[in-house]
Amino acid sequence: MSQVPPSYVSGHRLLAGRTAVVTAAAGAGIGGATARRLLEEGADIVLSDAHARRLRESEQELAAEFGAGRVAALPCDVTDDVQVAALFDLASQRHGRLDIVVNNAGLGGTADLVDMTDAQWGTVLDVTLNGTFRCTRAALRRMRTARSGGVIVNNASVIGWRAQRGQAHYAAAKAGVMALTRCAALEAAEYGVRVNAVSPSLAMHPHLARVTTPELLAELTSREAFGRPAEPWEVANVIVFLASGYSSYMTGEVLSVSSQHA
């Protein structure tokens, strides 16, 4: 039986005075929900997305609600290291510091391995895994120089642990994000930076509904103990936890945000 989603949780100023960068933050998915939650918790934010129009609309909406001085945005293709560098430079220029990075950019698709082209494989890996690498590297270089600590939260997926037909490229990329998270955490600890990841199962939003068949969504939903997908803000809440002082002794961890049956 499907359960009703819980009431939205209000902010508690957990991140007041912090500056955060969020990739793939335009629209109604996990990135957009995370940007809103960060603002509600007191952080100033820099949004990025490969879709310039959607990014502009998200920036305008959030700036109108939370104040233009707290929201900046820059289109960024995470497969382009020059654009990645410009994004993190903007955060420093606009807000004078970089405290939190949420690497949310990812790209999926469905194809059986025997039919998958090199281009399909390479594109998913370049956005989802290599993009996370590029952004993590850019963030760590700046955080290491600043010596003021910081937090990086990567968006992985339960598919990095659990097999699903047609998802070899996406599963490999997300498993790679998990491994990258653990290795980066060990390297970053010496200069006070924590690196963790969330691993959602199914978070429903309009874009997912457009690119996934109703049959697959029904199958995935049936695996959830609550009988429903997560709301994107429910995943964002866990990202906020990892970005906050409440997780101060956690690094190199991958937290499953899922109600999937074992």
**Closest C-alpha to 47, from 31, 29, 61:** 31
Q: Which two tokens stand for residue 232?
A: 């994107």
- DSSP string covering 18-39, please? -EEEESS-SSSSHHHHHHHHHH
Is residue 37 a contact partner of residue 9, using CB atoms and an 8 Å limit? Answer: no
Among the listed residues 170, 191, 246, 249, the single catalytic one is 170
Consecutive H or E run containing 256:
strand 254-257
- Give strand ranges (E) for 27-105: 44-49, 71-75, 100-103
Please state, in angstroms and rounded to a whole number, the distance separating the CA atoms of residues 207 and 205: 6
Q: Is 170 a catalytic residue?
A: yes
Q: So which residues are the catalytic ones? A: 170
